[in-house]
Amino acid sequence: MPISGFPEWMPPQRMIEQRMLDRIRTTFELYGYAPLETRSVEPLDTLLSKGETSKEVYLLRRLQADENAKDDDSLGLHFDLTVPFARFVVENAGKLQFPFKRYQMQKVWRGERPQEGRYREFLQADIDVVNRGELPFHYDCEMPLVIGDALGGLPIPRVRIQVNNRKVCEGFYRGLGLGDTAQVLRTVDKLDKIGPARVADQLVETAGATRAQADACLELAAISAEDGSFVDAVRKLGVTDPLLEEGLGELLRVVETAREHAPGLVVAELKIARGLDYYTGTVYETMLEGYERFGSVTSGGRYDSLASTGKETFPGVGISIGVTRILGLLFGHNALNISRSVPTCVLVAVPAEEQRTACDRIAGALRRRGIPAEVAPTAAKFGKQIQYADRRGIPYVWFPGEPDTVKDIRSGDQTEADAALWSPPAGDLQPTIAG
């Protein structure tokens, strides 16, 4: 029986997921990110100190607690991959080469309310780069380019990466005279969920804003541009602050870098805040074209003090692809399909059971040359063996004989073939994904 929020894909969907992961992994490695996998559990105090997540953390407990085990109540499943990565960096700083660039592709767990595209167990694909002391800003500019390359090569709708900078928001709120900038950020982050009128009310109630200050916060959040024009739009609001200027300069660099390398990929969207408390500068959220109402499918940002030993700080910037989120939305709308339900390219027919060993040899010869092949399950009539291949979408059936022949069961074409030489067209070798 299905459990809400814990998806299980059928084999065709799982094959699509694997192809997507292959593309993402290849792209990450092309940019020099190295693979890492961290443990699934973290100390509870680590997980609870990183933003509004306490209601979402899954505890790890044994059914029968050991009275002498001190950690039975103090471990939780990680809710993202950034927090465990920061902990890993601090613990292994002496063994790492900095700047340290890594990617992780792992399951994470969040006890939020399941809905379309939102799950309690899901797969994320993250990249992060951290450094000792200071992290050059050009890495903030690289993040959207990597994501654009990774997702742009897949048969999925176009992505648009919305970028903002926390310094812009915090500097603007300070310049307005608002003291609790963190509360203002958290409230503005709810814009898409509750709308501007309720955000304004909450700014007055929870952040001590006047109506005029709340309106100014909403004016800032309404600014959006694909080029540097957002800088003038912010300045027209008449608020000044050194942190605001610093943030505008950084955000401009991200937008201009993306415009040069990937026009149309990035848009400055000044309402983006991100709910997690550890972000300190650039923040990213990505929308899937046609699926904007479901919210962000990749997100991340700059964090300057998440990884720290007390004496030493390791600032970082990262971005995370919600792999299960993207696929769940597209599967739910039948927007992705695969050409066959099995990897098999060739079914080797079995004329009679006593010939199975010879058929296994043919399949083995094909496999050694990288051609996915299986042998028919029974020596039924050839018509039934062809039906078996057809039901699974296997394009070719191989008939042992003197000589061997291979049939494309889609077109009916049948030709003589040698297992040591024959190859299918490149498009038939692996299942193909179509949007």
428 and 318 fall within a common domain = no
pLDDT > 70: percent of the chain: 97
What is the rounded radius of gyration, in angstroms, for the C-alpha atoms of the chain?
27
Query: Distance between CA 320 and CA 146 in Å, rounded?
Result: 11
pLDDT computed for residue 69 by the predictor: 64
Q: Looking at the structure, tell me whether residues 69 and 148 fall in a common domain.
A: yes
Tokens in use for 322?
Answer: 């919600």
Structural domain for 373, as ranges: 346-434
- Specify which residues 408 forms β-bridges with: 396
How far apart, in Å, do the first and last CA atoms of the chain sit? 30
Chain segment 410-423, per-residue pLDDT in tens: 999 999 999 999 99
Domain boundary among 302, 337, 372: 337
Reply yes or no on whether the pLDDT at 275 is more than 80. no
* 410 and 275 belong to one structural domain: no
CB contact set of 285 (below 8 Å; sequence gap of 6+): 161, 162, 269, 272, 274, 296, 298, 299
Residue 44 confidence (pLDDT) above 60? yes
In degrees, rounded to 5, the angle at the alpha carbon of residue 15 between the alpha carbons of residues 431 and 143 is 105
Q: Are residues 311 and 405 in the same domain?
A: no
Whether residue 75 contacts residue 44, with contact meaning beta carbons closer than 8 Å, is answered with yes
- Are 230 and 270 members of one domain? yes
Strands (E), 251-389: 266-269, 282-288, 298-303, 316-322, 337-338, 346-348, 373-375
The reported pTM is 0.91
> Do 299 and 368 sit in the same domain of this protein?
no
Of the listed ranges 19-33, 174-188, 254-268, 344-358, the one predicted with least confidence: 174-188
Asked if residue 57 is part of any domain, the answer here is yes
- If asked whether residues 403 and 330 sit together in one domain, one would say no
Q: Which two tokens mark 425?
A: 């067209």
**Rounded Cα gap, residues 359 and 352, in angstroms:** 10
Residue 338, pLDDT above cutoff 90: yes
The confidence score (pLDDT) of residue 56 equals 87
The answer on 251 and 353 residing in a single domain is no
Question: Is 64's pLDDT higher than 90?
Answer: no
Do 118 and 15 lie in a common domain?
Answer: yes
6 assigned to some structural domain: no
Domain count, the chain: 2
Give CA torsion, residues 351, 357, 358, 360, to 10 deg: 100
Strands 224-225 and 337-338: unpaired
pLDDT over threshold 90, residue 278:
no
Quick one: pLDDT at residue 310?
83
* pLDDT at 267 exceeding the cut of 90: yes
In a domain, 5, yes or no: no
In terms of domains, do 146 and 274 share one? yes
Calculate mean pLDDT across residues 154-175.
Answer: 96
pLDDT at 336 > cutoff 70: yes
**Residue 395: inside a domain:** yes
DSSP H/E element including 22? helix 11-30
Does 4 reside within a domain? no
Residue 2 lies in a domain: no
Question: Nearest to residue 75, comparing CAs of 86, 62, 91, 59?
Answer: 59
The string of pLDDT tens digits covering residues 72-100 is 568 999 999 988 999 999 999 999 999 99
Asked if 141 and 257 touch (Cβ cutoff 8 Å), the reply is yes
Least confident window among 22-26, 66-70, 87-91: 66-70
Indicate whether 348 pLDDT > 90: yes
pLDDT at residue 162 greater than cutoff 80:
yes
The dihedral formed by the CA atoms of 89, 322, 433 and 144, expressed in degrees to the nearest 10:
-70
pLDDT in tens, 195-216: 999 999 999 999 989 999 999 9
pLDDT, one tens digit per residue, over 311-320 is 899 999 999 9
The domain boundary, picked from 337, 369, 386, lies at 337
**Residue that has been written with the tokens 């490149």 in this structure:** 426
Structural domain contains residue 430: yes
Instruction: Give CA angle at 257 (186, 26), nearest 5°.
Output: 90
Retrieve residue 207's tokens.
């952040």
**Domain shared by 75 and 203, yes or no:** yes
Annotate 216-246 with DSSP letters as a single string. HHHHHHT-EESSTHHHHHHHTTT---HHHHH
Same structural domain, 320 and 376: no
Confirm whether 3 is domain-assigned.
no
Domain of residue 393, CATH code: 3.40.50.800
* CATH code (residue 107): 3.30.930.10
SS3 of 60, please? coil
Domain stop point among 280, 309, 337: 337
